[in-house]
Amino acid sequence: MSDKDRIYMRDNLFFFAIIWSFGACIDAASRALFDRFFRRWLAGTPQLLSDFNMVNKGDLYQPRPLRHGLPDSGSIFDFFFDKKTLKWSTFSLLVPSLSAIPEDAKTHTLVVPTPDTVRNKLFLEFYALRGVHTLLVGVTGTGKTTCISSLLKDASTFDRDTYTYISLCFSAKTTANEVQDVIDSRVDRSRTKGVFAPSLGRKCLVFLDDLNLPAKEVYGAQPVIELLRQWHSMGGWYDRKSWEFRQIEMIQFLAAMGVPGGSRQHLPPRYLRYFNLLYLPAFAHASLVMIFDTVLSWKYRCFPAEIQTQARKLIEATVEVYTGICQALPPTPSRSHYTFNLRDVSRVVEGLCFCTKDAFRSSDDLYRCWIHEVQRVFCDRLVCREDKSKVFSLLAGVLESRCRRRYCDLVPAGSSPILFCDFVHPKRPYYQQVTLEELRDVAQRTLSEYNALYLKSPMNLVFFTQALKHLTRVVRILQQPKGNGLLVGFGGSGRKSLTRLATFLVGFEIATVDVTRSYGVSDWREDVKAILVKAGGHRRHLTFLLSDSQLTNDAFLDDVANLLNTGEIPNIFSTEDKIGILDLLSHGSVSSSSSSSSLSSSASTAAASAPPSESSNPGDLFELFVENCRQYLHMMLFFSPSGETLRHTIRLFPALVNCCAIDWFSQWREPSLEAVAREELCALRLGSLLTTRQKPHGARDSSADRGERQAATVPRDPPEEQESVGKGAGADACQSDGAMTERSDDQEPAARGAEAGDAASELGSRHAGAKTLSDDAVIFPDSASHLSSIFASMQLDVDEVTFQYRQELRRHYYITPRSYIEFLKLFSHLSVAKREELNRQVDQYRVGLEKIHSTSTQVGKIQEELETLKPQLIKASQDMVDLMVDISKMQESAARTKATVEVEEAQCKSQADAAAEVREQCKAELDTALPALTAAVEALKKLSKSDITELNSMKSPPAGVIKVVEALCKMFSIKPAKVKSADSMRKADDYWTASKKHLLSDTKFLQRLFTYDKDHIPVEVMSDILPYQTDPDFDPEVIKKASVAATSLCKWVRAIIVYDQVAKVVEPKQKNLEKAEAELAVAAEKLNEKKRELTAVEELLERLLAEHKAAEHKKEELKKQFDECSLRLQVAERLINDLAGENTRWKASFHELKVREKHNLRQTSGERVSRLYSKRHLCSVVHIYTLWYHLGFTYANT
C-alpha cells in the first residue's frame, strides 16, 4: 500500500470514527441534521457554523474541503469504510444471505438480518470484545434486547470456557440490594483478600435491560444507578453484612434502555460517562417490510401463487396500518396502554402464519384473516368507539390504497363478525373463519366436558356474541408462542371464566396462587418456583392466572415483569433448587396433563415426553429451563380499569403492555341488557302474573334440556373471585373516571346490525328464594319484553346519570355488569316475596277453614275411639294381676333349686380339693426320680454308634464295664454265656460275650434303651439289678475312667432302679387318685344337671317378668291414649263453639283473595305490569344504584 493510500485510509477511518462516536448517540432526526452538517463540513462550506446556529468566535475556524470517498446519496450512517477496497460500502453488503429455513422452524424463532441489525451487532461485538461498557438506547421494538441477547448466546463469539454472562431486567421497583445479590452470587473469592471474580478465570458480561426503569426515591436518588456507578468508579462495593469492601474484577456491562420519558428516568451524566452510547433508531420502512415479508413468504411457500402475491401486499399494508395507528392513537394519561411497537406487527404476521393453505379458498379469505389479526392486535385494547372508528377507517383506506380491495366487500354490512380459530372443526384442525353458531356449539360442548370433569365447581353460562369473541381472543393468546395476556374489565365481565374455559379448550393446566392476609413475598416465591419447575422442568403448558387483587405487593409485580421479559426471576432458585432442575432437564421428564380437550389441535397438548437435553453444560441447561418457562408458561393478568391501579402499574411495569396481548372488556349494549333481564324474568316465578301457553325461544327448560340450548354449564371460578359469562362475559359497564375507561362498543362497524338478535345472557346461581318455572308454567313474551326493555333503559339512564354525577361533583361511581345483575336479582327476589306473601295469606285462610271442617267431622270419631279403648284398658289390668301370681310361684321354685345347687356345689369342691392334694403328692415323689432318668436319657442321646462300637471292640474290658453290661443283660433278660472258670472245673457266667452278641452288636441298641418299658419291670429283674445300686464299683464316676459310653449306660441303669422304687410307692396313691377323680366326675355331672334346672327356672322367670313389663307398658299406653282422646274431645268441642262465627268471615276473605289473583292474571298488558311492579322496581333501583349518590343529586335526577 502506498503512502498516499495510507493517508487516504487514515483520513477516512478518522471520518468513520467521528460519525460513530459523535453521531452514534443521537436519535434519527438528529442524525439527519448531523448528516447534512458532516457532508458540508467535508465539502468545506463557508459559514458552516452560522448556518447551523453554532458558536463562531471571530471566525477563527474556516472549514476547508477534505478528500473523502463518501457517496453523495444516502445517509452517512448507512456506510462503512472498507480497508481492503479503500471504499465506502453500505452495511447492506454485510447482510448474510439467508440459508434454507428448516421445515420445522417456528416463525417466532426466525431472525431475519437487516442492515440495521448487522450494523448494531457489528458495533456491539466490537465494543464487547474490547472491554468497552456499551449502552444501547432506543424506543421499544428496535431490537436492543434481541441484539445483546443473541450476541451473548453466540458461542462462536463468546466461548463458554472464557465468558459467562448475567441477564438482569430492571423494573420500576428494582432495588440496589437485588442487583448486588445477583452479581455477588456469580463471583467467587480469589486468592487476594477482598477481591472477587467469576469462577474458572472467566470474564462475566452483565446485561442490564431497561436500565432507566428503576424509579427515583422521594428526594431524587436512584440507589440502583448509584451502586453501579460505585463499581465503575471504585471497582466494587461494600458487603452488607461484614461492611468490608468487595473488589469485583473481570466483569463488563452491556446495557439497554428506552428513550427517557414517562416512567423511564433520565440517567445522571456521572454514570453515563462510563458507557459508549449507541442509539438504535426505529427500523426503516424497507427493513420492516423485508423482515416480515421474508417470514410470511417462507410460511406461504407452498400456497397458491395468488395467495403468495397478495401476502406480499399485506406486509406493506400491515406496516402502514402500524405507522398510522401510532400517529392516530398516541398514549395519553387515560389511555396509557396505547403504546404500540414492532411486537404488534410481529403478532399480526404470526396470526397469518397460523393458517394453512386449506384455510384459504380465495384471496378474500386471506384478507379477512388479515383484518381479523389486525383487529385482534390493534383494536382489542381500544376503549371507546371513536378510537375503533379511527382504526377501521385507517384499515379500510389501507386496503383500498395498497390492495385494491374494499372493506365493505370483504365484510358486508349486517354480516356476522370475522372470527378465526382452529378448534371448531376437529376434522379440519387449522386456522379458519367460523360462524357464531359454530362457535357457540363448540363452546357448549366444551363446557359440558368441563362440567363433567369438574363436578364440584359448575357454573351456568349462556354465550352471546361478545362472550364468544372474547373466548376466541383468549384462545388465540394462549396458542401464540410465548403468549401472555392482559385482560382489562370490571368485576363480572367474565375474564377469569372465559380464560378457564379457553385453557381447558386448548388442553393446558390452570395455575394460580391463593393470597391470604398473611401471604408474603416468601410465600409468593415458593408458589412461583413450583409453577416454574412444572412449566420449565416438566414442560407442561400452564396458564398462570393473576388478578390485581392478588398482586398486592410491588415485589409480585416486579417478578411478573421479569417473567414476561426474560422468563426467569433473578435469584429465585437456590443452589440446591438449580441442581434439581438441571438433573431434571439432563435426564428428561414425563409430564401428564391433568386436563385436555379433543377440540384443540395446534397448541393444546402439553409435552407428553421430554427427552433429555443434549448439552451437559449447567449454563446451557439453565438457559434451556428459562426458555421452557417462556414457552410453556402463559401469564394471564386480570386488571380493573377503575382508579389509578392500572395506569400506575403500566407506568411502572411497561412489560405488562409490551409483552402481553391486551383484551379490553367493554360495556353491554341495550340488546344484551334486555336479553339478560328477559332471561332472569323467565327463569323465576313472578307469581303467575306473566303466564301464557307458549315458551319463547331461549327460555329455560328442564335440567335435561339445558345442554341443547344456548345455556351451558361451566365450572365456576374459586369463590374468592368468581366472575360469570353472560352476566358479565364479553362486556363491562365501563364508566370512566378519566382513568382507563370510556364508553365503548365492542363491535365492527359493518357487523353492528347483526348482533341485536344474538345477545343472550348467563344466569348464575339464583337467589335462595327464587323458584324456577314448572313444566306447565310459561311466560308472555310481550310482558317479559316490556319489563326487560324498562330495565335496559334504566341501566343506560343510570350510566348517563353517573357520567353527569362525575362531571358535576368530580366523584366516581362505576356502573358494572355486577350492579345490573344485583338489581335483577333484587327485583326478582322482591317479586317472589310479594307473590309468596299473597300465597301465604291464601294458604292461611284455606288451612283455617280446613281445620274447622276436619275438627267437626272428627268429634264423633274421637268418641268411638274412647268407647273402644275403655274395655281394652280393663282387660290389660286383669292380665297384669294374673302374671304377678305366676311370677310369685316361679320365684319360690327358683329359690329352692338354687339352695340345692349350692349344697352340691360345696360337696364337689371338697372332693376336688382332696383329689388335687393326692395329685400333688404323686407329682412330688415322681419329681425325685424323673430328673435322674431324664439326665440319663440325655446322656444316652449324646452317644453315637461309634461309641457303642468302641465299647464292643474292647478285648479285656475293665470290671466296671463288665458290671454295666451284666446289669443290662439282666434288665433285658439275656442269659450269660457259660465259660470255664480259671480256678475250678465249673463253668462261670460270661455276660460280656452275651452282651456283645445280643446288645452291643444290635444296631437298634440305643433305640431299645429309649423305648424300655420302665413302668412294668418284672419283680425278679429288679431283684437281680437292685444290688448294683449299692455296689461301689457300679459308680458312674468310677466307670468314667474306663469308658464314656459305659458311664452313660451306668447312669441309665441306676436311674431305672430309682424310678422303679419311686413308682412302687406312688402306684397305690395313683389308684386312689383315679378313684377320687371318678367320684368327682359323677358329682360334677349331678351338679351341672341341677344348674341347668336352675337356669331353666330363671329364664322362665325372666320371660314372665318381661311379659309383665310389656303388659304394664301396654296398660300405660292405653291409659295415655284414653286421656289424649278425652282432651282432644274437649278441645274440639271448645274450638267448634268458639269459631262458629269466624267460619263465615274466613270463607269470605278466602274467596276475595282468589278473585284478586285471577284478576291480576288476566291483566298482562304492559301498563298493567308496570303498575304492578313499579314499587318493586323503584325499591330495587334505590337500593342498588342511588345509595352512592349525593342526596340532593338523587332528588334532582329521580
Question: Which domain CATH number covers 226?
Answer: 3.40.50.300
Query: Tell me, what's the pLDDT at 1120?
Result: 81
Residues 71, 153: one domain?
Answer: no
SS in 3 state form for 1159-1191? HHHHCCCHHHHHHHHHHHHHHHHHHHHHCCCCH
Please state which of the ranges 57-66, 366-375, 1021-1030 shows the lowest mean pLDDT: 57-66
Query: Tell me, what's the pLDDT at 638?
Result: 95
Residue 1054 pLDDT exceeds 60: yes
Query: Tell me, what's the pLDDT at 251?
Result: 94
Query: Tell me, what's the pLDDT at 278?
Result: 94
1067-1074 long-range contacts, Cβ below 8 Å, gap at least 24?
1069/918, 1069/921, 1069/922, 1069/925, 1070/922, 1072/918, 1073/915, 1073/918, 1073/919, 1073/922
Cell (9 digits) for 98: 439467508
Query: Tell me, what's the pLDDT at 591?
Result: 42
Mean pLDDT throughout 21-29? 90
Residues 127, 83: one domain?
Answer: no
Residue 1058 pLDDT exceeds 90: no
In a domain, 936, yes or no: no
Mean pLDDT throughout 380-404? 91
Residue 312 pLDDT exceeds 90: no
Looking at per-residue pLDDT, the higher value among 1128 and 78 belongs to 78
Residue 1102 pLDDT exceeds 70: yes
Query: Tell me, what's the pLDDT at 1178?
Result: 58
Residues 63, 206: one domain?
Answer: no
Cβ atoms < 10 Å from Cβ of 877: 13
Residues 120, 268: one domain?
Answer: yes
Residues 56, 170: one domain?
Answer: no
934 exposed, middle or buried (CB, 10 Å; 0-12, 13-18, 19+)?
A: exposed
Residue 786 pLDDT exceeds 90: no
Dihedral in degrees, nearest 10, Cα atoms 352, 356, 361, 365: -10
Q: What is the pLDDT of residues 707-752, one digit of tens each?
A: 333 332 233 333 333 343 434 333 333 333 333 444 444 444 444 3
Domain interval for residue 57: 3-94
In a domain, 47, yes or no: yes
Residue 56 pLDDT exceeds 70: no
Cell (9 digits) for 710: 344456548
Neighbouring residues of 474: CB distance < 8 A, sequence distance ≥ 6:
485, 487, 498, 499, 502, 636, 663
Residue 374 pLDDT exceeds 80: yes
Residues 87, 127: one domain?
Answer: no
Distances (CA, A) of 848 to 685, 838, 1087, 1139: 26, 16, 74, 10
Which 8-state DSSP code applies to residue 341?
-
In a domain, 826, yes or no: yes
Residues pairing with 855 in the sheet: none
Looking at per-residue pLDDT, the higher value among 1175 and 328 belongs to 328
Query: Tell me, what's the pLDDT at 600?
Result: 38
Query: Tell me, what's the pLDDT at 898?
Result: 74
Please state which of the ranges 125-129, 358-362, 450-454, 1062-1066 shows the lowest mean pLDDT: 1062-1066
Percent of the chain residues past pLDDT 90, beyond the cut: 23
Q: Are strands 609-610 and 276-279 parallel, antiparallel or unpaired?
A: unpaired
Query: Tell me, what's the pLDDT at 474?
Result: 94
Residues 29, 128: one domain?
Answer: no
Q: What is the pLDDT of residues 416-435, one digit of tens each?
A: 888 888 888 776 666 778 88
| 3-state SS, residue 633 | strand
Longest dimension (CA), the chain: 178
Residues 217, 271: one domain?
Answer: yes
Query: Tell me, what's the pLDDT at 971?
Result: 82
Cβ atoms < 10 Å from Cβ of 833: 12
Nearest residue to 732 via CA among 388, 331, 474, 383: 383
Report the distance separating Cα 1052 and Cα 1010, nearest Å: 10
Please state which of the ranges 21-25, 32-36, 792-796, 1050-1054 shows the lowest mean pLDDT: 792-796
Query: Tell me, what's the pLDDT at 823?
Result: 76
Mean pLDDT throughout 631-638? 95
In a domain, 347, yes or no: no
Q: What is the pLDDT of residues 939-963, one digit of tens each?
A: 666 666 776 777 777 777 887 788 8
Residues 723, 790: one domain?
Answer: yes
Last residue of a domain, one of 279, 296, 326: 279
Q: What is the pLDDT of residues 439-470, one digit of tens each?
A: 989 998 999 898 889 888 887 676 878 888 99
Last residue of a domain, one of 279, 309, 325: 279
Query: Tell me, what's the pLDDT at 50?
Result: 65
Residues 52, 128: one domain?
Answer: no
Looking at per-residue pLDDT, the higher value among 925 and 973 belongs to 973
Mean pLDDT throughout 347-369? 88
Q: How long a stretch of residues is the chain?
A: 1198
In a domain, 1011, yes or no: no
Position of cell 262465627? 1141
Q: What is the pLDDT of residues 824-881, one digit of tens each?
A: 777 777 777 777 777 788 888 788 777 777 777 777 777 777 777 777 777 777 777 7
Mean pLDDT throughout 650-673? 85
Neighbouring residues of 527: CB distance < 8 A, sequence distance ≥ 6:
513
Domain count, the chain: 3
Residues 90, 237: one domain?
Answer: no
pLDDT-derived band at 1100 (thresholds 50, 70, 90) equals confident
Query: Tell me, what's the pLDDT at 155?
Result: 77
Residue 693 pLDDT exceeds 60: no
Q: What is the pLDDT of residues 1108-1155, one digit of tens each?
A: 778 778 778 877 877 887 787 777 777 777 776 777 777 777 777 777
Q: Taking CA 615 as the corner, what is the angle to CA 609 and CA 619, rounded to the nearest 5 degrees?
A: 110
Position of cell 369342691? 909
Residues 793, 830: one domain?
Answer: yes
In a domain, 166, yes or no: yes
Mean pLDDT throughout 311-337? 90
Residue 589 pLDDT exceeds 60: no
Query: Tell me, what's the pLDDT at 176?
Result: 94
Residue 778 pLDDT exceeds 80: no
Query: Tell me, what's the pLDDT at 976?
Result: 83
In a domain, 1056, yes or no: no
Last residue of a domain, one of 94, 124, 150: 94
Which 8-state DSSP code applies to residue 592?
-
Beta strands in 76-149 (DSSP E): 79-82, 87-90, 134-137
Distances (CA, A) of 629 to 542, 564, 1049: 9, 10, 91
Q: Taking CA 40 as the corner, what is the angle to CA 38 and CA 42, rounded to the nearest 5 degrees?
A: 70
Mean pLDDT throughout 649-668? 88
Chain mean pLDDT for the chain: 77
In a domain, 1005, yes or no: no
